[in-house]
Structure 1
Amino acid sequence: MKPTVTRIESPALQKGWIMTQTWEHLLFAHWAIQPSVLRPLVPAELELDTYDGNAWLGIIPFLLTGVRIRRMPPVPFTTRFPEINVRTYVKRKGRSGIYFLSLDASNWLVTTIAKKWYRLPYYPASIHFRTSSDSIDFQSRRLTSPAAKGFSVSYRPDSDVFFAEKGSLEHWLTERYTLFCDCKTTRNMYSADVYHEPWKLQKAAVQYRENTLTEHLFPSAEHPGLFLYSRGVQSFVWPIRKTCGPEGGLPH
């Protein structure tokens, strides 16, 4: 039996979230990178998280569905669209999370709102996302400056479903429930929490065609070191909150 999207089992137990999203047909593609390469790209207020001495860069293409503000009806043309994000892994005061280097999406309204609301580095893109009986084809091309950034790949699940074992690299990369972001204007650091059930993962078989999203980080790299696939999860997203002010000071 093919895996299905994992729904939140007891939504009534989750208090304070403001948005729900479902993430479908995800490819987790990852590179191990020297921490010194990524350190200049991450705010000083965040500690670069490492696994066995390596920092990791993730590129995750997927399909967003069911996007909705809590207690509000769905907004037309914003509930379903493909996205791709480039992220690395960070910590702040012992709390592990994700820091996004870029996010490309095919919905201009969502990218505009997300940049202002969540201070996330979104870019509008032309994205082709197609599922067939046995694979997903994903092609993205950024529409604004820096222009012509693209990613092209086909992928499919290639193993039985498994849950990542705690302490494993797969668990370290995927089971993250906090995002960190920074506002370039105010120089404030923010964070937001996310909840979903644990990922049901599968190994992925990949036909990897193009990646100009991260060529400035490692021009000679051709293939990520780790491919994982997930059919997807429903998620709840909490409001953004300020975690520190300029020069790393605590918020007042």
Structure 2
Amino acid sequence: MGLFTFNQKWIMTQTWEHLLFAHWPVSVDCIRRLVPDELEVDTFDGQAWISIIPFLMSGIRLKVFAEIPYFSTFPEINLRTYVKSHRRPGIFFITLDASDPLVVEMGKLWYHLPYHKAKISFRQNGQEIIVHSRRTPSDAFSTCFDGCYRPASIPFAAQAGTIEHWLMERYVLYSKHPRTKCVYWAEVYHDPWKLHAAEAHIGRNTLADGLLDTPLGKPALLHYSKGVHALVGPIHPLR
């Protein structure tokens, strides 16, 4: 879909800033258990992948309104995998943690996304980003993510046919309603990602505990992006 056409359809804008993309290869069978039957597990050279993305969200605005004053910049962490339907590659969000309680409720209500409330510290020290997250209510066993990261190369655009392009250049999100189990999709438009290789240290990370056969170890691939401005379309049931 061209930008002009999508400009007629978007309903919300968002800006995503200072993103880390940490990627792990996982088995297709493992991912198959996590996504609805209506979606096909997407693979690169026969390999399924899972990713964790901490970032800052800002500039949320509905098309019919000016920027919503309530929303300031706030951190979020996504756990996602890669799927397709009717040959359209997209992203399926397994979990989303956010520090803004209204965004948590809006994401659940409007897009049927599996949001969780979390207390997230997200700070910048020079080029380094430091993130500490705990789901609330907090206790010793709360789902958590602790890490720090920084860009480690000049920016580049992912080339078609590469694993970077396969992971990053996706413009459809899929979700499942928790009660009806109906699968939905929505389009997202933004400029192609400007990526950097990244350096990262991930400490305690339990976002995928209980979902995968084994805990996530060291990421196989790491990327950083300064960010993009995104247009988000309406949600539709998958037919």
Q: Does 1:172 align with 2:172?
A: no
Q: Look up the equivalent residue of 1:73 and give its one-letter code.
A: A
CA-to-aligned-CA distance 1:164-202 (integer Å, 9 cap, x gap): 010100000010000011113222111000000000000
Pick aligned residue for 1:102 from 73, 91, 95? 95
Pick aligned residue for 2:191 from 190, 197, 210? 197
* Aligned-residue CA RMSD (Å): 1.7
Structure 1 residue 133 displacement after superposition: 1.4
CA-to-aligned-CA distance 1:203-244 (integer Å, 9 cap, x gap): 001111111011321434321100000000000000101113
Pick aligned residue for 1:228 from 207, 223, 226? 223
Q: Residues of 1 paired with 2:72 and 2:43: CA distance?
A: 34
Q: Residues of 2 paired with 1:11 and 1:60: CA distance?
A: 29
Superposition pairs for residues 52-71 of structure 1, below 5 Å? 52-71=45-64
Q: Look up the equivalent residue of 2:99 and give its one-letter code.
A: S
Q: Look up the equivalent residue of 2:231 and give its one-letter code.
A: F
The answer (yes or no) to whether the contact 2:208–2:216 under 8 Å persists in 1 is: no
Number of residue pairs matched? 235
Structure 1 residue 12 displacement after superposition: 9.0
Scaled by the length of structure 1, the TM-score of the pair is 0.89
- Specify the alignment match of 1:210 in structure 2: 204
- More strand per residue: 2
Structure 1 residue 110 displacement after superposition: 0.8
Q: Residues of 2 paired with 1:19 and 1:220: CA distance?
A: 35
Superposition pairs for residues 18-167 of structure 1, below 5 Å? 18-144=11-137, 148-167=142-161
Q: Residues of 2 paired with 1:109 and 1:75: CA distance?
A: 12
What is the SS of the residue equivalent to 2:200? strand
The answer (yes or no) to whether the contact 1:123–1:144 under 8 Å persists in 2 is: no
Q: Look up the equivalent residue of 1:34 and give its one-letter code.
A: S
Structure 1: give runs of 5+ residues left out of the alignment.
1-9, 245-252
Q: Does 1:241 align with 2:230?
A: no
What is the SS of the residue equivalent to 2:157? coil
Scaled by the length of structure 2, the TM-score of the pair is 0.94
CA-to-aligned-CA distance 1:108-145 (integer Å, 9 cap, x gap): 01101110110000000000000121210011111159
